[in-house]
Amino acid sequence: MTARRATIATGEISPQLGTALVIVLTALWAIPFCWMLVAAFRPEMFGGSGMASLVPDYLPTLANFREAWESADFIRYGLNSVLICGGILAVQLTTMSLAAFAFARMRFPGRTALFYLFLTQMMLVPIVLLVPNLRTVAQLGLYDTLLGVMAPYFATAFGTFLMRQAFQSIPRELEDAALVDGARWWQLILHIYLPLAKPALIAFAIVSVTSHWNEFLWPLMVINSPDNRPLTVGLAMFTLGAEGAQAWGVIAAGTFIVIAPLILGFVTFQRRFINSFMTTGLK
């Protein structure tokens, strides 16, 4: 009783209560996903009011997946999403590594003030930049192109901050030893800093790919041609047509096709994901 009163007095949550809270939140989060799985494999004849059920009271069928696959060009949409995410990540890894090295190891006037000014990008709500970014993309002639979708994300304040912290944790003695051997600054980055900052690189890659794979509003504003649509925009257009026929099973199957690569990637590299976040201290 005394320990319980002390816990209440200090405002701490008991392990049992914390576990129960996590279970409840997990169950609430999983309800839409479970409904999607049940509806995706539900035969068309079991539609209507039965679609609200979370219990599979039928024999599973792949008819919804077949119809969804034939109704939309998911292969092209998926390829566009891969090109967008891969292109953004490749440029981000380059720009943030160079900027992080400059902020972490180079000495120049106003370095700290410039770094904090650079971090103000993280404080801006993305929707505020939609119109200026769209105007800039149109002026550059990149409207309705995959490059136009990628361009605003080539510089990343979060990635620069993450890599700067990782670079600062690397002993400077390694850099001094490489300089004595005649290494150039770019060789320091390639052969010393980046290999030792691999957990931070992996953690950032997870965040970047996930966020841009799920990006919807910005590609919707920039892309006009059906052939350039990423998966999220293609799924939205596909859903609008399927909603008219109330084909909820087909919509659920199409949604599952879109998120399946992320699920497969997480299941395959789950241990590496968790280790990377734990190493970098991300929560």
pLDDT digits (tens, 9 = 90+) for 132-163: 999 999 999 999 999 999 999 999 999 999 99
Cα 149 to chain centroid, rounded:
15
Instruction: Check residue 193 and give its pLDDT.
Output: 93
Instruction: Check residue 40 and give its pLDDT.
Output: 86
Q: Kindly state the average pLDDT of the residues 208-231.
A: 92
User: Would you place residue 13 in the very low, low, confident or very high pLDDT band (cuts 50, 70, 90)?
Assistant: low
Instruction: Check residue 81 and give its pLDDT.
Output: 95
Query: CA-CA distance, 19 to 271, in Å (whole number)?
Result: 22
The DSSP symbol for 55 reads S
pLDDT above 60 (res 28): yes
- DSSP labels for 145-182? SHHHHHGGGSS-HHHHHHHHHHHHTS-HHHHHHHHHTT
Closest by CA to 214, choosing from 113, 81, 103, 90, is: 81
pLDDT above 70 (res 123): yes
The CATH fold assigned to 70-280 is MetI-like fold (1.10.3720)
Instruction: Check residue 31 and give its pLDDT.
Output: 85
Instruction: Check residue 222 and give its pLDDT.
Output: 95
- Exposure letters 59-83 (e unless 16+ CB within 10 A, then b): eebeebbebbbeebbbebbbebbeb
User: Would you place residue 199 in the very low, low, confident or very high pLDDT band (cuts 50, 70, 90)?
Assistant: confident
Give residue limits of the domains in the chain: 2-61, 70-280
Average pLDDT, the chain: 84
pLDDT above 80 (res 201): yes
Instruction: Check residue 8 and give its pLDDT.
Output: 46
Query: CA-CA distance, 115 to 104, in Å (whole number)?
Result: 10
pLDDT above 90 (res 64): no
Q: Kindly state the average pLDDT of the residues 63-82.
A: 90
Which of 18-27, 179-188, 220-229, 255-264: highest mean pLDDT?
220-229
Instruction: Check residue 46 and give its pLDDT.
Output: 59
For 64, the token pair is 């919804």
User: Would you place residue 283 in the very low, low, confident or very high pLDDT band (cuts 50, 70, 90)?
Assistant: very low
pLDDT above 80 (res 23): yes
For 275, the token pair is 């280790």
pLDDT above 70 (res 10): no
